[in-house]
Amino acid sequence: MPPLDSSPPFDTRFDAKPGEPVEIAPRIVRLTAPNASAYTFAGTNSYLVGRDELFVIDPGPADETHRAALLEEIGGRKVIAVVLTHTHRDHSALAQNLADDCRAPLWFGGRHRLSRPKRWLEVNQLHGACDWDLIPDRVLADGDILKSGAMEIEVIVTPGHCANHLSFGMVGTPYLFSGDHVMGWNSTLVATPDGSMRDYLNSLEKLIAAPWTHYLPGHGGSIPQDAKGVDGPNIARALKKHRLMRNQQILNAVKAGASRIGEVVDRLYPKVGLKTRIAARLTVVAHLELLEEQGHLNIRHSLFGTTIVPLA
């Protein structure tokens, strides 16, 4: 198998400054939670959007120091709503407490749900990372407009990373809060049945066609236009190209004789650590399900494991 093509131009230069408010633009302040890990990078980014009245986007994990930092930055200002891009707990675990603190409603894309039903005996590997019991005061829908004075934020439904994922575009500005759908430091984990590779690719197309160019992700630094003209939609295009390349690499591996998920992972990711391998395996499964849906291969599940069968 030929060497893997280069990844999108990821940028891991990010001074997170956990707990410190960082003004990204007028009416946008970022506070990064102190929950750095292999999957959250330098921590979860929370955003305070507005001036005299605020929306709080993604309060983050249940961390008391982060809660205190958010409340200090909010000060006595009114919080119109606490808003979530999605209900993975690194974004949402603090949401209800912060909403109660600020006497604000909680808005997001509906209760956490799977992208497809689980198969018999299937285990959702992300079950513990999901905020299953969180209930919104308002379910946000595609095209909804959140208003604060003259400021308007448009809701963009972007499933894929998980079923209830949303992005938010500030109308009349280049700024889009992309959650975990598009990030500048790494590609997004898509793990079935929690997520869906088909939905993820479709949502990338949706953002590529949208007018916003400066992305503010849930982890890592902003994605503005750089000196070469690369901006948020360009990164989204590169991520789509990267996923389509993975599809072809997986098909090549299967045609070359790989019939087990672990064998595909070995071919595509021969020299990675355990945590990266776990994420790689989850993503490979999501690709395989898409390829089966597209009629490129068959997947057979049994008590003895999963077998991948190429089509003639």
Average pLDDT over residues 291-312: 89
| Per-residue pLDDT, 7 | 64
| Per-residue pLDDT, 229 | 82
The residues, any chain, with a CB within 8 Å of residue 98's CB and separated by 6 or more, are 56, 59, 67, 70, 71, 82, 104
Average pLDDT over residues 6-12: 76
pLDDT, one tens digit per residue, over 108-141 is 999 999 999 999 889 999 999 999 999 999 999 9
Average pLDDT over residues 91-104: 98
pLDDT, one tens digit per residue, over 36-53 is 998 899 999 999 999 999
Q: Return the bridge partners of 169, or none.
A: 154, 176
Classified as helix, coil or strand, 258 is coil
pLDDT tops 90 at residue 311 = no
pLDDT, one tens digit per residue, over 131-181 is 999 999 999 999 999 999 899 999 999 999 999 999 999 999 999 999 999
Confidence of residue 312 (pLDDT cuts 50, 70, 90): low
pLDDT tops 80 at residue 5 = no
pLDDT, one tens digit per residue, over 207-217 is 999 999 999 99
| Per-residue pLDDT, 3 | 32
Q: Tell me which of 3.40.50.150, 3.30.43.10, 1.10.230.10, 1.10.10.10 is the CATH number of domain 245-310.
A: 1.10.10.10
Residue 263 neighbours by CB distance under 10 Å? 15
pLDDT tops 50 at residue 2 = no
Burial 105-135 (b: 16+ CB within 10 A, else e): ebbbbeebebbeeeeeeeeebbeebbbeebe
Q: Would you kindly state where each structural domain of the chain is located, as residue ranges?
A: 22-229, 245-310
Strands (E) across the chain are located at 22-25, 28-32, 45-50, 53-57, 78-83, 106-108, 138-139, 145-148, 151-157, 166-170, 175-179, 214-217, 297-302, 305-310
| Per-residue pLDDT, 38 | 87
Token readout for 118 is 């689980």
Token readout for 1 is 């198998």
Mean pLDDT, the chain, rounded, equals 93
C-beta separation of 291 from 251 below 8 A: yes
CA distance linking residue 57 with residue 40, whole number of Å = 16
Pairing of strands 297-302, 214-217: unpaired
What end-to-end distance do the CA atoms of the chain give, in Å?
Answer: 20
Q: Tell me which of 2.160.10.10, 3.10.105.10, 3.60.15.10, 1.20.200.10 is the CATH number of domain 22-229.
A: 3.60.15.10
**Nearest residue to 168 (alpha-carbon basis) of 82, 99, 103, 70:** 82
143 alpha carbon, distance to own chain's centre:
19
C-beta separation of 170 from 145 below 8 A: no
- The CA-atom distances, in angstroms, between 27 and each of 4, 52, 58, 169, 170 are 41, 9, 16, 13, 10
The residues, any chain, with a CB within 8 Å of residue 312's CB and separated by 6 or more, are none
| Per-residue pLDDT, 67 | 98
